[in-house]
């Protein structure tokens, strides 16, 4: 029986030391400290998860805003390009119209100058013809008629010619 007591004694002492160890742990509040540490770690992890969720939401908001700005910029770019195309088409049409109007004005001006030069040449030819005719008539009359008749006839023809020239120039 003695061996039995020793086994019981050693088991007993192991059990007693086990209870003393756990009693000491409880007395020193080790389980509460471990629980507090674990709760703090859990709380920190939850805070980090919440913070990362918040950052993810902010990032999504920023991404959405950037996408909206990009879409708006694309739309504005398309509007600017369309307006530039319309403006360039309008400018080409205006320049073409100005060119045709300018050409028409130059053409009309040239035609007017030609007409004026033609009229001046006709007038000059007419004047020269009248002078030549008068000189010829004067020579013919001078050679075929006597002096007194000639002076009368010359004066009469001169007056008639002056009247005709006045009518032509008017």
Q: What does each C-alpha distance from 47 to 33, 53, 54, 155 come to in angstroms?
A: 21, 10, 10, 133
For residues 93 and 30, give the distance between their C-alpha atoms in angstroms, rounded to a whole number: 93
Residue 42's pLDDT is 93
DSSP letter for each residue of 28-44: TTHHHHHHHHHHHHHHH
Residues present in the chain in total:
170
pLDDT value, residue 51: 94
What pLDDT does residue 156 have?
A: 81
Q: In this predicted structure, what is the pLDDT of residue 59?
A: 93
Over the chain (170 residues), the average pLDDT of each successive run of 10 is 59 82 76 86 94 94 93 92 91 90 90 90 82 77 67 78 74
DSSP string, 66-100: HHHHHHHHHHHHHHHHHHHHHHHHHHHHHHHHHHH
Confidence (pLDDT) at 105: 92
- The whole-number pLDDT of residue 146 equals 65
Q: Cβ distance 138 to 154 under 8 Å?
A: yes
pLDDT at 1: 45
Q: What pLDDT, on a 0 to 100 scale, did the predictor assign at position 40?
A: 94
- What does the pLDDT read at residue 3? 53
């Amino acid at each position: 029986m003695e061996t039995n007591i020793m086994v019981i004694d050693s088991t007993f002492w192991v059990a007693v030391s086990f209870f003393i160890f756990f009693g000491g742990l409880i007395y020193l509040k080790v389980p509460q400290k471990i629980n507090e540490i674990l709760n703090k770690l859990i709380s920190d992890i939850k805070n980090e998860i919440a913070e990362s969720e918040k950052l993810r939401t902010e990032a999504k908001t920023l991404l959405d805003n950037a996408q909206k700005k990009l879409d708006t910029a694309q739309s504005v770019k398309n509007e600017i390009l369309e307006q530039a195309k319309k403006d360039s088409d309008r400018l080409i049409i205006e320049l073409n119209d100005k060119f045709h109007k300018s050409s028409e004005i130059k053409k009309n001006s040239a035609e007017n100058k030609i007409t004026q030069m033609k009229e001046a040449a006709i007038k000059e030819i007419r004047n020269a013809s009248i002078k030549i005719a008068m000189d010829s008539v004067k020579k013919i009359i001078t050679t075929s008629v006597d002096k007194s008749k000639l002076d009368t006839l010359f004066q009469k023809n001169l007056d008639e010619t002056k009247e005709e020239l006045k009518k032509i120039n008017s």
